[in-house]
Amino acid sequence: MNVWLGMPPFPEAARQALGDSQLRANLRAATATIRTKRAAVVAERDDWEQLREAGRAIKDRALRDLDTYLLQLEAQVTDAGGTVHWARDADEANRIVAGLVRAAGATEVVKVKSMATQEIGLNEALAAAGITALETDLAELIVQLGHDRPSHILVPAIHRNRAQIRELFRREMPGVDPDLTDDPVALASAARAHLRRAFLAARVAVSGANFAVAETGALVVVESEGNGRMCLTLPEVLISVVGIEKVIPTTADLAVLLQLLPRSATGERMNPYTSFWRGTTPGDGPREFHLVLLDNGRTTALADEIGRDALRCIRCSACLNVCPVYERTGGHAYGSVYPGPIGAILTPQLRGPDPVADSLPYASTLCGACFDACPVKIDIPRALVHLRGKVAHPPGERAAMRAAAWVMSRPPRFAVARLAARLGARLARLPGPWRRWTEARDLPTPGESFRDWWDARERP
Amino acid sequence: MRVGLFLTCLNDTLFPGAGKAVVQVLERLGHEVVFPPAQTCCGQAHFNTGYRRECVPLARKFAKDFAGLDHVVSPSASCVAMVRENYRELVGESPPVYEFSEFLVDVLGVTDVGAAFPHRVTYHPTCHGLRLLDLGDRPTALLRAVRGLRLVDLPDATHCCGFGGTFALKNADTSVAMGTDKARNVLGTGAEVLAAVDNSCLMHIGGLLSRWRSGTRVLHVAEILAAT
Ligand code: SF4
């Protein structure tokens, strides 16, 4: 995750983002569009709640017997001519992939959009090993060309608008038409020409997977552009890096998940391209297939009774699009490849404690919009509260909370505190942590207290 | 009916009007209100900030303070949600608490409480009322029955206002950015009054409206229902 090194904790990073009016406008427009599309396609299903429940059950079943399903997957993939590698953490996964690319005699790989490879910082690790990785998803390409960080799970360049992308292409894309306009078709055509050369030349492709079916050993990638399918079929060697929580028991489970995912993700009934592959087939597609199964903190999350719910995530990003915090701050503020509500519960679990990860469970008002939208019913607010109990708290906070509980435990103490608070509310500027309130907001000026009123009327 | 009033620590301290209004409406409808004076706080701020252990004694105390009451009503959706959603797991019992509008509509079966309030009002459905308690159109049904009241729709009503308890301090900048959008929508309706069923959210949105000298004020739904 080295592209994320040096990010400040969420409140500070958010403050910077909030001041960027272009970013705010881009996010407002983009999230509102996806929200409207999603709401429309979800509303046309009167069994949406049953589908969500079925999705939850499938992922929970897979997680409950994860060991069994993973071994079944390994056996099936091996049987179909693939090779399975197990990676405990990012370093191990990166070493395995770099080794495989080198063994294939390649110095360049084309990539299918993948969160797992972003998570482990594969592109940077490959670069250190002298291997160039080319992102082929249009939005990932925009991020890569801009030497930027992704800010959304599905639309990594959501923070950029068309005009900015045009500028970027003109600056960074070799051989691009200098008169390129910001028409979406023109931009897509420029990217297409740029990528086509790479697809035809590439000998190794790296992908992730949306699902891995234990029963058959099939991997599934869901996408919109067809660039993924090019990578999955043209090169000689295909390496897929897949988080262990992506395994599902049976092909039939896809009947549920492939209805939930596109509706929740892009607001489409069905996505344009769904690719399945199973091991290798002589004369058709890659000659070599490697599946790298990635733990990288997932088994730790699995051991947490509440935190494990995050492993049900199918990376649809619906929770980001409905999140009022994400809509204001964008994805970079979360300091991780996984932004938004899911990032706030996944990053602290996958990455372990650090100042950014510790700030993330608090990057939410607990409004619950994410839980309502999640196609696999992850109770994100509950997980946030649970993780708030586990991360490091700011110095003095526990003492203050204990003191508050001490005050509230005895009515006379509370009476004194009420009086103090009523007096304090008259101050134009509050002291200590309360300062942040009065910077932008007034406080009410209460009249006669309820208790005085109550006592006076009971006594007549 | 004998009804316990759970005022909540915030209303007890800074919003005396909400409690008075609940008492007035219930008495007007012929019910007896009991106010257990030892009550303090449900522990929501502790629980939601990650201090579960510190919250347990407060939850025990709450159960003790309201023991023996069949109906406890409160002018705070988020505190009711706290008790209803978390107490069973925390202390093994969940006292029978109702949010005020929910109590009026579901338990007492009334939507017209005989109020009059000749003003233009807009309503913000606070997140915990909307998503945890599923209050739906109960508060607006009550407001629509108020004589003279003109209820105008709030754009993006279901979007969070950005209060979020300790979020308002820990992430004050984001909180204010969200509140600004909410307050701007409120002003766009031309309403004189913004109503809600949670004074915590109203403290936040109202704090901005007041700082801007906007002239739009905030009121708890109960205060409007108490007006005659
Ligand atoms: S947590 Fe749920 S809504 Fe968010 S990305 Fe994952 S599956 Fe989608």
Pairing of strands A132-135, A83-87: unpaired
Judged by a CB distance cut-off of 8 A, whether residue B128 touches chain A is: yes
Q: Convert the pLDDT of each residue in A197-210 to its tens digit.
A: 888 899 999 999 99
CA B79, CA B44: separation in Å to the nearest integer?
7
Region of residue A39 (phi > 0: left; psi between -120 and 50: alpha; otherwise: beta): alpha
Question: A16 to chain B, minimum CA–CA distance in Å?
Answer: 10
The fold of the B120-226 domain, in CATH, is Rossmann fold (3.40.50)
- How many domains in chain A? 2
Region of residue B194 (phi > 0: left; psi between -120 and 50: alpha; otherwise: beta): beta
SS3 string of chain A? CHHHCCCCCHHHHHHHHHCCHHHHHHHHHHHHHHHHHHHHHHHCCCCHHHHHHHHHHHHHHHHHCHHHHHHHHHHHHHHCCCEEEEECCHHHHHHHHHHHHHHCCCCEEEECCCHHHHHCCHHHHHHHCCCEEEECCHHHHHHHHCCCCCCCCCCCCCCCCHHHHHHHHHHHCCCCCCCCCCCHHHHHHHHHHHHHHHHHHCCEEEECCCEEECCCCEEEEEECCCHHHHHHHCCCEEEEEEEHHHEECCCCHHHHHHHHHHHHHCCCCCCCEEEEECCCECCECCCEEEEEEECCCHHHHHCCCCHHHHHHCCCCCHHHHHCHHHHHHCCHHHCCCCCHHHHHHHHHHHHCCCHHHHHHHHCCCCCCHHHHHCCCCCCHHHHHHHHHCCCCCCCCHHHHHHHHHHHHCCHHHHHHHHHHHHHHCCCCCCCHHHHHHHHHCCCCCCCCCHHHHHHHHHCC
Nearest chain A alpha carbon to B6: A450
Domain end marker among A280, A298, A316: A298
Residues of B in contact with A329 (CB under 8 A): 174
CA A377, CA A442: separation in Å to the nearest integer?
38
For the CA of A318, the closest atom of ligand 1 is 3
Question: Which residue owns the Cα nearest ligand 1 atom 8?
Answer: A316
- Number of helices (H) and strands (E) in chain B: give both, helices first: 12, 8
Question: What band does A2 get if pLDDT is binned at 50, 70 and 90?
Answer: low
| Closest Cβ opposite residue A444 in set B15, B47, B159 | B15
- The average pLDDT across A305-327 equals 98
Q: Is the CB of A311 under 6 A from ligand 1?
A: no
Structure tokens at B219: 């009121």
Cβ pair B153, B125 in contact under 8 A: no
Range of the domain at A164: 10-298
Question: Which residue owns the Cα nearest ligand 1 atom 7?
Answer: A313
Question: Which residue owns the Cα nearest ligand 1 atom 4?
Answer: A319
Closest by CA to A423, choosing from A445, A455, A401, A448, is: A445
Whole-number pLDDT of residue A4: 83
| Closest Cβ opposite residue A439 in set B17, B49, B172 | B172
Residues of B in contact with A404 (CB under 8 A): 45-46, 54
Whole-number pLDDT of residue A95: 98
Structure tokens at A183: 């028409």
Å from CA of A377 to ligand 1 middle: 8
Cβ within 8 Å, pair A398-B163: no
CA B77, CA B128: separation in Å to the nearest integer?
6
CA A234, CA A195: separation in Å to the nearest integer?
13
Domain end marker among A235, A263, A298: A298
The sign of the CA dihedral B52, B58, B64, B68 is negative
CA A29, CA B132: separation in Å to the nearest integer?
28
Cβ within 8 Å, pair A368-B54: no
Asked if domains B2-107 and B120-226 share a fold, the reply is yes
CA B218, CA B143: separation in Å to the nearest integer?
14
What CATH number is associated with residue A179?
Answer: 3.40.50.10420
- The average pLDDT across A405-432 equals 91
Lowest model confidence (mean pLDDT) among A115-119, A446-450, B135-139, B192-196: A446-450
Å from CA of A304 to ligand 1 middle: 18
Q: Is the CB of A313 under 6 A from ligand 1?
A: yes
Structure tokens at A201: 């030349």
Burial status of residue A456 (CB atoms within 10 A of its CB: 0-12, 13-18, 19 or more): exposed
Whole-number pLDDT of residue A214: 98
Q: Convert the pLDDT of each residue in A371-382 to its tens digit.
A: 999 999 999 999
Domain end marker among A270, A298, A326: A298
- The average pLDDT across A6-15 equals 95
pLDDT (tens, 9 = 90+) of chain B, 228 residues, equals 999 999 999 999 999 999 999 999 999 999 999 999 999 999 999 999 999 999 999 999 999 999 999 999 999 999 999 999 999 999 998 999 999 999 999 999 999 999 999 999 999 999 999 999 999 999 999 999 999 999 999 999 999 999 999 999 999 999 999 999 999 999 999 999 999 999 999 999 999 999 999 999 999 999 999 999
Å from CA of A375 to ligand 1 middle: 7
Q: Is the CB of A374 under 6 A from ligand 1?
A: yes
Judged by a CB distance cut-off of 8 A, whether residue B91 touches chain A is: no
Question: A357 to chain B, minimum CA–CA distance in Å?
Answer: 15
Residues of A in contact with B160 (CB under 8 A): 324, 365, 367, 369
Question: What band does A460 get if pLDDT is binned at 50, 70 and 90?
Answer: very low
| Closest Cβ opposite residue A388 in set B13, B49, B57 | B49
Residues of B in contact with A366 (CB under 8 A): 48, 127, 164-165, 167
Q: Is the CB of A125 under 6 A from ligand 1?
A: no
Question: How many residues are there in chain B?
Answer: 228
Q: Is the CB of A325 under 6 A from ligand 1?
A: no
CB atoms within 10 A of CB B68: 9
CA A37, CA A105: separation in Å to the nearest integer?
45
Question: Which residue owns the Cα nearest ligand 1 atom 3?
Answer: A374
Question: What band does A458 get if pLDDT is binned at 50, 70 and 90?
Answer: low
Whole-number pLDDT of residue A315: 97
Q: Is the CB of A375 under 6 A from ligand 1?
A: yes
CA B168, CA A440: separation in Å to the nearest integer?
11
Å from CA of A374 to ligand 1 middle: 5
Element (H, E) at B216: none
Give every CB contact of residue B202 below 8 A, 6+ residues apart in sequence.
B194, B196, B218, B219, B220
Among the ranges A89-98, A148-157, A420-429, which has the highest mean pLDDT value?
A89-98
Domain ranges within chain B, ordered by starting residue: 2-107, 120-226
Cβ pair A385, B46 in contact under 8 A: no
The yes-or-no verdict on residue A108 having pLDDT over 90 is yes
Cβ within 8 Å, pair B127-A328: no
Å from CA of B80 to ligand 1 middle: 28
Cβ within 8 Å, pair B50-A436: no
CA B102, CA A13: separation in Å to the nearest integer?
40
Cβ pair A55, A377 in contact under 8 A: yes
Structure tokens at B34: 């009991």
For the CA of A320, the closest atom of ligand 1 is 4
Instruction: For A207, list phi and psi in degrees, rounded to 5.
Output: -135, 175
Cβ within 8 Å, pair B37-A451: yes
The yes-or-no verdict on residue A1 having pLDDT over 60 is no
Three-state SS for B5? strand
State ipTM: 0.96
| Closest Cβ opposite residue A436 in set B12, B50, B172 | B172
In-domain check, residue A402: no
In CATH terms, B2-107 corresponds, of 2.40.50, 3.20.20, 3.90.660, 3.40.50, to: 3.40.50
Closest by CA to A42, choosing from A225, A236, A235, A268, is: A268
Q: Convert the pLDDT of each residue in A362-415 to its tens digit.
A: 999 999 999 999 999 999 999 999 999 999 998 899 999 999 999 999 999 999
The yes-or-no verdict on residue A47 having pLDDT over 50 is yes
How far is CA A87 from each of CA A95, A135, A166, A293, rounded to the nearest angstrom? 9, 22, 39, 6
